[in-house]
Amino acid sequence: MSDSLKENHNSNNDEISLVDLFNILWNKKLPIICASFIFAISSIFYALSLPNIYTSDVVLKVAGSSGSSISNNSQFGSIAALAGVNLGSGGGMDEKADLAKQTIRSRDFVKHVSSFGEVLPALMALKEFDPVSQSMIFDEEAYDVDNKKWISAIPSDNEVYKKFISMVNVFIDIDTGFLAVSVSHQSPYFSKSFLELIINELNNIERNRDISEAKRSKAYLNKQLAIYKVADIRNSINALIQSQLETEMLANVRIDYLLRPLDSAYVPEKKSAPVRSMICIAITFIGFLLSIFAVLIHHYLFRKTA
């Protein structure tokens, strides 16, 4: 046989056809089935070991401008800008929605809300949720429920922040400007209460910030009022003081100062995760593919070394 014929014969032997692959896999069907079955059984145990996660969500409307009509007057607005006084115009709805989103996701806000009651243990020391007693069961090696003390080291701010970000989702609808906030947790009752806490504290923080700023602005404007004697300037300053009084009044009266829920937060009745059927299907399919690859690699590796 000539060299060219030998090369063609060798190249034909090296080619892999679909028929050859099917024959190889068919001959090794028993190991493939066994391996896939092991993965399937393991996926069931793994899926059953995962705790149920419940998600409570709410859609929020950004509150309207807290400033008075005086803020729209260019003359007073210019004077206020020069004096460093905020008339409470606060920007557009999109700006306020983005402010609310970034505040919720800020480390200072996470540190603030995690300081309430049993929020930190519920975030970092939860073992499981008992649906019968409808109560949370904490890890006894990490947290002492009776004495409300940490047995192990108190979770760091960075650990708490990572946990918070993983369970709290904030989404802004670009078309409507509405803000959607959701909390996912093993306890459906905690997911609801924690969601309400986040909304209430966000409103309180913005309220207290505007009240403090309005008081400082009034104190400054009253000092300027005692200095200037020109009637026009005094009228302008009095108008600015009035706008700060309106801002302070709205902050004290309006309960939902920055965000107003379109619907109240609720206790979820059905779990949102995990989807155990999809987990089992995915793991079984991965096991099936891995078993096929293992059979083919074993076959061709040993064939070439033989």
Q: Residue 64's pLDDT is what?
A: 59
pTM of the model: 0.74
Whether 32 contacts 292, CB under 8 Å: yes
Residue 172 has pLDDT above 80, yes or no: yes
Q: Comparing 7 with 235, which gets the higher pLDDT?
A: 235
Whether 160 contacts 120, CB under 8 Å: yes
Provide, rounded to the nearest whole percent, the portion of the chain with pLDDT above 90: 32
**Rounded-to-integer distance, Cα 57 and Cα 168, Å:** 10
Q: Residue 182's pLDDT is what?
A: 94
Q: Residue 221's pLDDT is what?
A: 85
CA-closest candidate to residue 86, choices 223, 247, 226: 247
Whether 142 contacts 125, CB under 8 Å: yes
Residue 83 has pLDDT above 80, yes or no: no
**Rounded-to-integer distance, Cα 148 and Cα 202, Å:** 26
Residue 76 has pLDDT above 90, yes or no: no
Lowest mean pLDDT among 143-147, 210-214, 228-232: 228-232
How large is the average pLDDT for residues 144-157? Answer: 87
Q: Which two tokens stand for residue 47?
A: 């899926």
What confidence category does residue 5 fall into, taking pLDDT thresholds of 50, 70 and 90? very low
The mean of the pLDDT values for the chain is: 82
Q: Residue 58's pLDDT is what?
A: 92
What confidence category does residue 42 fall into, taking pLDDT thresholds of 50, 70 and 90? very high
**Rounded-to-integer distance, Cα 65 and Cα 55, Å:** 31
